[in-house]
Amino acid sequence: MNKKLKQLFFKGSNFLGAEFPIMGGAMTWISESNLVSATSNAGGFGVIAAGSMDKDKLEKEIIATKSKTRKPFGVNLILLHPEIEDLIEVCIEKKVDLVVFAGGFPKLRQIQKLKNKKIKTMCFATTVSIAQKMINYGVDALILEGNEAGGHIGPVSINVLVQEILPKIMEVPVFVAGGIGRGEIFLKYLELGAAGCQIGTRLVCSNESIAHNNFKEIFIKSEARNSQVSVRLDKRFPVIPVRAIENKASEKFLQEQKRVIKLLDTSNISLKEAQLQIEHFWAGSLKKAVIDGDIDNGSLMAGQSVSLVKKIQPVNEIISEIVKQAEEQITNEQRIS
């Protein structure tokens, strides 16, 4: 590996215990033992998506992943999950290497509970103040995720988040996510101070991904502009925007919002229950597309880097390609200078 790239990789690789500081994005129904172990075996760092799992399912998934890789991997926990405390206990019992908190900000006691068991923690940051608060709570690393990403997203581009937050956070490794599909842009983020990146959309079309062939084919055919953000109908309604390839499910989501808002207006459910109902809608809709192959009625969550997905490849080829592109970019820059 190029000496400069090795130096840029050091902080993130050392934190993850992986050859490359490239994390797999946690994608519900997709980021399970096959893809997670393949990502870690390829030199990256796989992350199990526990959003749709109960504690028994998560335990089985961790055991299955450990049977397929000796390399480190993590678990992504959605803080809205009704069994979040049980899932944290499973991660402790099964001695996972890293817990990534998503869908909100972890409580101090949740971070400390894991740290006391020597399990690293990571969460997403959307502002400098939130980043600093999480660091003060003891989180070991942060992820800045731009709205170019697939699935649940924040409102700000990764290019802005990097300029706003990265120069001000020195205490912990900061990983970047959203729209990353090639090594050249990954290199630029590393040069700006990022410790590594998280990629999801490109891994969907890997050989090891269990996603249905129909799901993979729509990714290969799609352009960046096909991946759009869901519309929120009511500002009171706590809907986290979702980026997906537009289809009939996009329209069904609007109808689902109307239904749940009506329940909210009549005080039949609380705000938290409303949000959980929406999460259940997405989980079911995503399963319909990912597992059953219904690309018309199922959710096609995809980042804007979907335009960079051109074929089905092994995970190790995807990761090697990104690393090689970064190396070639360094070589080209050195030649010019």
DSSP class per residue in 116-175? TTT-EEEEE-SSHHHHHHHHHHT-SEEEEE-TTSSEE--SS-HHHHHHHHGGG--SS-EE
Do 229 and 189 fall into the same domain?
Answer: no
**Among all chains, which residue has been given the structure tokens 């890293």?**
98
Q: pLDDT at position 279, please?
A: 77
Q: pLDDT at position 155, please?
A: 87
DSSP state of 69: -
Q: pLDDT at position 154, please?
A: 84
Do 21 and 106 fall into the same domain?
Answer: yes
Do 233 and 194 fall into the same domain?
Answer: no
Q: How far is CA 180 from CA 84, 85, 201, 247, 295, in A?
A: 29, 32, 9, 24, 24
Q: What angle do CA 112, 277, 266 make, to 5 degrees?
A: 115
Q: pLDDT at position 238, please?
A: 60
Residue at 321 is within a domain: yes
Residue at 18 is within a domain: yes
Tell me the CATH number at 196: 3.20.20.70
Residue at 274 is within a domain: yes
Cα radius of gyration (the chain): 19
Residue at 52 is within a domain: yes
Q: pLDDT at position 271, please?
A: 80
The dihedral built from the CA positions of residue 165, 168, 169 and 174, taken in this order, carries a sign that is positive
Residue at 189 is within a domain: yes
Residue at 108 is within a domain: yes
Residue at 337 is within a domain: no
Do 195 and 261 fall into the same domain?
Answer: no
Q: pLDDT at position 337, please?
A: 72
Contact, 33 vs 59, CB < 8 A? no
Cα–Cα dist 234/65, whole Å: 41
Helix (H) or strand (E) holding 227: strand 227-229
Q: How far is CA 137 from CA 36, 44, 104, 110, 128, in A?
A: 28, 27, 14, 10, 14
Q: pLDDT at position 215, please?
A: 97
DSSP state of 238: -
Do 163 and 233 fall into the same domain?
Answer: no
For the chain, 337 residues long, the average pLDDT of each consecutive 10-residue run is: 94 98 97 98 98 96 98 96 96 98 95 97 96 98 97 92 96 97 98 98 98 98 95 72 90 86 83 80 89 95 97 98 97 86
Residue 149 exposed, middle or buried by CB count within 10 Å (0-12, 13-18, 19+) = buried
Which residue range(s) make up the domain with 328? 3-210+310-332
Q: pLDDT at position 184, please?
A: 98
Do 205 and 218 fall into the same domain?
Answer: no
Do 151 and 8 fall into the same domain?
Answer: yes
Q: pLDDT at position 209, please?
A: 98
Do 300 and 318 fall into the same domain?
Answer: no
pTM for the full model? 0.94
Do 113 and 262 fall into the same domain?
Answer: no
Contact, 78 vs 105, CB < 8 A? no
Q: What angle do CA 215, 199, 336 make, to 5 degrees?
A: 125
Q: pLDDT at position 198, please?
A: 98
Number of domains in the chain: 2
Do 97 and 232 fall into the same domain?
Answer: no
Do 187 and 276 fall into the same domain?
Answer: no
Do 298 and 163 fall into the same domain?
Answer: no
Residue at 128 is within a domain: yes
